[in-house]
Amino acid sequence: MKKICLLCVAFIATLTAKAWDYDILISTRNTSLLFSANQGEELRFSYYGDKITPAQIGQVHDAWIGMNRPAYPAFGMDCTRSHALQVVHPDGNMTLDLVVDHIEERDTENATLTIITLKDKVYPFFVKMNYNAYKNSDIIELWTEILHTEKKAVTLQRFDSGCLPIRRADVWVSHLSGNWISETYVTAEPLQRGMKVIKNTDGARNAQGAHPEVMLSLDGKPQENEGRVIGAALCWSGNYKIRIDTEDHHSHTLFAGINEEASEYKLEPKTTFTTPKLAITYSEEGLSGASRNFHRWARNGQIHGGDKQRDILLNSWEGVYLDVNEQEMENMMREIAAMGGELFVMDDGWFGDKYPRDHDNSSLGDWVVNKRKLPHGVEGLIATARKYGIKFGIWIEPESTNTRSELYEKHPDWVIRVPNREPRYGRGGTQILLDLSNPKVQDFVFGVVDDLMTKYPGIAYMKWDANLPLFNYGSSYLPKDKQSHLYVEYHKGLEKTLQRIRAKYPDLVMQACGGGGGRTSYGVMPAFEEFWLSDNTDAMQRIYMQWGTSYFYPSIAMAQHVSAAPNHQTGKSIPIKFRFDVAMTGRLGMEIQPKDMNEKEKAFAKKAIATYKDIRPVIQFGDLYRLVSPFDKKEVASLMYCTPEKDCAVFFAYKLDHYANQVIAPFRMAGLDATKYYRLREINVPDGEKPCHLDGKVVSGKLLMTVGLDIPLHKEYASRVFELNVVN
């Protein structure tokens, strides 16, 4: 990477009247972000896209590719446009006039950080614009640090992480939305005049409805493997707002940051407010190309342990729900070990002394073993897991309590509630959130994990659930004049707590669950290895949800479980092969009662688990190529993973609709080496059935990608999986 900015701005001479005196070029391996920054003048955005060289900067300006738009517009002097920042000074003045003060650059092993400090012309008010350009993933992170030395607090009324102008054309936005048991469905729509807003107001979780990420296709209707795409993901676990403003000018402008609604923030003198990171990427290989950039970035540090292989597990929830008991836990451990699994996770229902967790209306906060259910305790279960050669994990929900609990009886002031009002409750009619803005509550939540790990160091995995939105907007910890900080301080408290846990227990594997997919968020993923995608385990519906989630999140973080037939959420009876073929595109697991499986199903599961172990490195660390989208209503869906070396790949195809005389187009692959030949091996073939006619065939990468394959999908719920290996 060539350095363009040094401790002060490097002078790049340009020779035309349209050019500016100073340019700041921030580049990854394949992309560039360009600003014009005259000292004492407003910072201006010029370009974001395919990588350019310093010699081409003048050409960008000459050709008017550069947008010449404000890089971080602040309210006050120009009141006619949308703004990224809005404040009220102690004297009541609501204006800002920010200009470039100085610039610095810092190199790290994996990235180059450029900091552009802006200063108000009149007030001692500063904004540090941070741009962290990664060297190995084509991601640039944007965030701001806001500070001042005024005599009293400045009120922040809007405080976006960043903004990005985009040239007006046939631009489409793709975004994710849904609800409980129907998360992460894709909506793609053209950007029209006006304001497109995507936001969340859950308070505690921010991904069960809309998601804090968008894809922007610059060349018309989104395509998976061709076309220019800009992707953006806000790395924040709380309320957010993404706005795309389309004015009657030459640009769309993307704004993203913490949702300012009910969140006015009083910033005291000489303190710094740091916004969440906004990660952006650019690709000329369509939606899948942008996704691959996010996936590499995630595996290289944005998810915890992104370079470590994930275990195959059985979770007890759909097997027994709250009816946990020692004998049933051992039976399930024995069964998953016999099928080749590597980890057993005991879900909700194991705790509570004075108030046993027999129903969902009690016991949260009382994280002690229920000896009636587990006479030999957690240590006995860990010993049992070791006997069967597997690991042991456990479920917690440490951010909540029930009013029917010992914790609530001792610390009623620790919950989020409004004085003099009857609180609203969540699950079970008694669940209420703890106030994580309170350091004592942060200590308690840290202590839930710390106490369990101290008493039972053999715990290898924790499922961290969060089933409740933030009701009852009020904090007994925050002062009266800073109640509006609650949405922000809750998540700052959560972040501090998770950082403490990770500092002490870096090897503990943790799953982020949020009443389903509510915690599928880069705001928390640096502390978690994986997330629970949805409480809906129906394989057909999971194809859609997993597809949308893969826009931004890598397979290694996506917990995908094989569940029962009939499915507990939809009632559909789907063949076990189809269920495994869907679950194997992410981190494979099971959410089932093994004793309810017949011997044929157990035999298939054992064979499929062994197969998954063989292809696991390709699935969990390979490059994803989405081929046929289920949202395109073509009656099928298809995707594949390839190694970076393009010597091995795994291909998946699913039939979504079934009727007589159905015509299915050939499946064209992607990501292969056109000059090499690949041998196809069909995997996950049920006992008693023969592989299809393509098994064992050798086909060139070029033909696989240009002509494709006629893959037989004759039956209802038909699916095929092929492993491809280069023929030397």
Residue 115, domain member (yes or no): yes
Query: Residue 21's pLDDT is what?
Result: 63
| CATH number of the domain bearing residue 660 | 2.60.40.1180
CA distances from 548 to 188, 210, 298, 542, 561 (A): 11, 12, 16, 10, 17
What would the DSSP string read from start to end of 452-491? Answer: HHHH-TTEEEEEE-------S---SSS-GGGGGGHHHHHH
Domain carrying residue 382 = 313-621
Whether residue 669 sits in one domain with residue 614:
no
Look at the chain and report how many structural domains it folds into: 3
Whether residue 127 sits in one domain with residue 43:
yes
Whether residue 516 sits in one domain with residue 434:
yes
Give 286's pLDDT tier (boundaries 50, 70, 90).
very high
DSSP code at position 300: I
Give the global pTM: 0.96
Residue 8 has pLDDT above 70, yes or no: no
Query: Residue 12's pLDDT is what?
Result: 38
Residue 16, domain member (yes or no): no
Whether residue 258 sits in one domain with residue 158:
yes
Residue 136 has pLDDT above 50, yes or no: yes
Residue 10, domain member (yes or no): no
CA distance 141 to 163: 12
Residue 698 has pLDDT above 60, yes or no: yes
Quote the mean pLDDT of the chain.
95
Question: pLDDT tens across 64-108, in order?
Answer: 666 789 999 999 998 989 999 999 999 999 999 999 999 999 998
Residue 176 has pLDDT above 50, yes or no: yes
Among candidate residues 621, 649, 672, the one where a domain is terminated: 621
Q: Are 592 and 527 in contact (CB under 8 A)?
A: no
Helix count (H) and strand count (E) of the chain?
12, 36
Residue 9, domain member (yes or no): no
| Residue 242 CB neighbour total at 10 angstroms | 26
Tokens of 615: 């292809």
Closest CA to 484 of 162, 144, 239: 239
Whether residue 506 sits in one domain with residue 494:
yes
| CATH number of the domain bearing residue 30 | 2.70.98.60
CA distances from 559 to 182, 376, 514, 721 (A): 15, 30, 13, 19
Residue 201, domain member (yes or no): yes
CA distance 511 to 450: 16
Residue 100, domain member (yes or no): yes
Whether residue 339 sits in one domain with residue 243:
no
Residue 701 has pLDDT above 60, yes or no: yes
| CATH number of the domain bearing residue 397 | 3.20.20.70
Question: pLDDT tens across 432-490, in order?
Answer: 999 999 999 999 999 999 999 999 999 999 999 999 999 999 999 999 999 999 999 99
Question: pLDDT tens across 685-694, in order?
Answer: 999 999 999 9
Whether residue 393 sits in one domain with residue 343:
yes
Query: Residue 224's pLDDT is what?
Result: 98
Whether residue 660 sits in one domain with residue 575:
no
Q: What residues contact 225, with CB distance under 8 A and at least 6 apart?
A: 285, 286, 287, 288, 289, 625, 626, 627, 670
